[in-house]
Amino acid sequence: MCGIWALFGSDECLSVQCLSAMKIAHRGPDAFRFENVNGFTNCCFGFHRLAVVDQLYGMQPIRVKKFPYLWLCYNGEIYNFKQLQKQFGFEYQTLVDGEVILHLYNRGGIEQTASMLDGVFAFILLDTANRKVFLARDTYGVRPLFKVLTDDGFLGVCSEAKGLINLKHSTSLCSKVEPFLPGHYEVLDLKPSGKVTSVELVKFHSCKDEPLHAACDTVETLPSGFDLETVKSNIRILFENAVRKRLMAHRRIGCLLSGGLDSSLVAAVLLKLMKEININYPLQTFAIGMENSPDLLAARKVAAHIGSEHHEVIFNCEEGIQAIEEVIFSLETYDITTIRASIGMYLVSKYIRKKTDSVVIFSGEGSDELTQGYIYFHKAPSPEEAAEESERLLKELYLFDVLRADRTTAAHGLELRVPFLDHRFTSYYLSLPAELRIPKNGIEKYLLRQAFEDSNLLPKEILWRPKEAFSDGIASVKKSWFSILQDYIDQQVDDLLLEKAAEKYPFNPPKTKESYYYRQIFEKHYSGRSNWLPHYWMPRWVKATDPSARTLKHYKSSAQE
């Protein structure tokens, strides 16, 4: 996990512009480099490093003797760099996994490069010999990337939008800062003046398609057919493989553990594999909640069952409320459910950074979208519509859960790893018949639970624990976290302000005092940039006025039982 930043064709002094690069210093607390591009005095790279692999040669932009005309700034982890080296006979100069991007590009161009990378990534690749700039981002946008391109060809690129919004430019304000789309690469021509023009934006991978890199995966061809035992076995094999490949690190590995199905499965498989490869330190797991919250109690059970070194972070209402503004600043969004869920994750990440030496943090993001874990999936009109909704949620992860997971951990210099969003695992799960993937017997994620039923990885009551949204599970059963927030905000926002909300904020107008309060803070830091969030996250097929699972009838009836 690092922070990348680059400018092409800047009219302003670069030493002034580079102050913007410092806005993302939290992403790379270990080192910083600012480098001009030879022959292009108005082009430069900025890089904040979190050293996870190759402590010696890991600084960026990466340049190697074999390709003196290539410059690479990337944020991510490429899990198959060794397999690609073996397959194509690449001669690496460093131990940095991202070096493979240079070799792939030299061998087959940008399309093959992006398609063959098994991992999470956002990168800027400059080819001065052919005067090209390339941008690319992984399938689910696990690693963030933003860009601004003015009409006269000034390009700014950064891991977070906050590194671009204050850039200076002669002809126009840099107002059109926007997220770079996941699963895409862009080709830009670099003019002698250092300015660029966009040539094409190409979608290189869709979540349903088996990735091109599957051909050189460590897991061979899986048995075909949709009989239940085959499917369950394939799910276990691919999920275990997803966790195994993510063990690549020279820094200590830890795991977030809410006690829900997803994080518990990740923690259990992770600990099992760490033992297999003789990692000689205990796995640290981290849970957060208020006193006696459901998540704390469930996480305690899981930690005891798997034998992790467990840490509990207990916070109170005041601490949570005090964190709201810094959380919104980190997130760069005003989405209601994202902010609610981020507060706990932000506070637990802060604890990990201050009190432990774990840096590479595993988490369960992506499972709810992939395996139909949200409670509203019980109301899907048909298996086919549920499958379509699952794909929509995966495509929008970069706006919601993946955004939350990246920013809350990156704010404290941690690197997040999310095995549920492994390309091969997700494409296989989405290839299964729609009726296999829907909730059954009133239980969501039924197929995933079934797949691990006989593994003894988790206690039965955890494996079959009903869905509890992270922002709800951290509070007590009697009073949800969202109710605590609403009670506080009710005193902060006047009724008259809410009545006039649509006039003040015509795009995505706030409908509640809570959303108005978040929007005010967002506009304070990112005025006029409400289009970064196309719409609020809300459940479908139910007449929901609030995104919390605890407001849904299915949740209430389950809780009463």
Distance (Å, whole) CA 177 – CA 187: 18
- Determine whether 15 is exposed, middle or buried from the number of CB atoms within 10 Å of its CB (0-12, 13-18, 19+): exposed
Residue 2 annotated in active site: yes
Exposure string (b/e) for 239-265, b if CB count within 10 Å is 16 or more?
A: bbbbbbbbbbeebebbbbbbbbbbbbb
Alpha carbon of 260 to those of 265, 354, 458, 468: distances in Å? Answer: 9, 25, 11, 7
Question: 349 labelled as ligand-binding?
Answer: no
User: 364 among the known binding-site residues?
Assistant: yes
The pair of three-digit structure tokens given for residue 307, joined into one six-digit string: 């034998």
Q: Are 485 and 495 in contact (CB under 8 A)?
A: no
The number of C-alpha atoms within 13 Å of 285 and in the hemisphere containing its C-beta is 30
Q: Which of 2, 44, 158, 207 is catalytic?
A: 2
The response to whether 558 counts as a known ligand-binding position is no
Q: What are phi and psi of 260, to 5 degrees?
A: -80, 175
- SS3 call for 90: coil
For residue 363, say whether it is annotated as part of any ligand binding site.
yes
Pair 282, 256: CB distance under 8 Å: no
Quick check: 498 and 518 in contact, CB under 8 A?
no
Helices within 117-170 (DSSP H only): none
Residue with token string 């690496």: 92
**Binding residue numbers for ATP:** 256, 288, 363-364
Residues tagged in the binding site annotation for L-glutamine:
97
Residues annotated catalytic, as ranges: 2
Residues annotated within a binding site: 97, 256, 288, 363-364
